[in-house]
Chains A and B, each alone.
Chain A
Amino acid sequence: RKEVEQDPGPFNVPEGATVAFNCTYSNSASQSFFWYRQDCRKEPKLLMSVYSSGNEDGRFTAQLNRASQYISLLIRDSKLSDSATYLCAVNKSPGGQGGKLIFGQGTELSVKP
């Protein structure tokens, strides 16, 4: 089983749709969780951190489910500009040395007019 797994997609949705991505992780001791966005042929950029109580940033909502060991990203009112690959990342060494992250392979989102 991979340490961090995502559905690769692609998710093809119309503008205005709500779309949700999940990311499962295997290490129950993980403490830090992130969502990154990566545009084609560009570097990953931090979209948002994921906090235990869940957090929202505009149209984006991130949630953590420790019992089932997954994080989720919800995008409401999708825009064409949301088309990208979304990577989840989980820290490998809790509190730890190096701050190593394990990345999922990414979920591709394509928002159509």
Chain B
Amino acid sequence: DVKVTQSSRYLVKRTGEKVFLECVQDMDHENMFWYRQDPGLGLRLIYFSYDVKMKEKGDIPEGYSVSREKKERFSLILESASTNQTSMYLCASSYVGDPNQPQHFGDGTRLSIL
């Protein structure tokens, strides 16, 4: 079974802090993704990466950056947290070789910015 592990289930931070969300997958997947999910807005793609050190902006990259130094790890960084970044953050991974391969999600991190 694919295992995608996010570092925290719940996180509370303060406005202006730099926040790191970590995601690790154990299936040697090339693709990794960060989403946020908000009521009424569904899943929105923040950033994705299809290889080590490669990254591309998703639909809502503003206020975020990412890091992919190793294949198994994809980090999401909130440079200066703001209250409108309070959300559920989901990491996912998938295999690049077959477009019919689905994405597999981590448990999610519920982030509250006070």
Nearest B residue to A101 via CB reads: B103
Residues of B within 8 A of A34 (CB): 102
B105 within 8 A of A: yes
Q: In the complex, which range does the number of interface residues on chain A fall in? A: 20 to 34
B90 adjacent to A43 (CB under 8 Å): yes
- How close is B66's CB to chain A, nearest CB, in angstroms? 13
Quick check: B106 and A43 within 8 Å, CB to CB?
Answer: yes
Q: Is the CB of B99 within 8 A of A95?
A: yes
Residues from chain B with Cβ under 8 Å of A97 in the complex: 50, 96
A100 interface neighbour in B45, B100, B101, B108, Cβ under 8 Å: B45
Q: Which of A62-70, A76-84, A103-111 contacts B (4 or more CB under 8 A)?
A: A103-111
Q: Is A61 an interface residue (CB 8 A)?
A: no
B102 cross-chain contacts in A, Cβ below 8 A: 34, 36, 46, 49, 89, 101
- Flag whether A72 is at the interface (Cβ < 8 A): no
Tell me, rounded to whole Å, the shortest Cβ–Cβ distance linking A50 to chain B.
Answer: 10
Among B11-19, B36-44, B74-82, the one that faces the other chain is B36-44
**A31 and B105 in contact (CB under 8 A), knowing A98-B56, A105-B40?**
no
Interface residue from B40, B43, B107 paired with A103 (Cβ < 8 Å) = B43
A45-B105 in contact (CB<8A)? yes
Closest to A93 in B: B99
A4 CB → nearest B CB, Å? 9
List of 4 A-B pairs having minimum Cβ-Cβ separation, nearest first? A105-B42, A43-B105, A103-B43, A98-B50
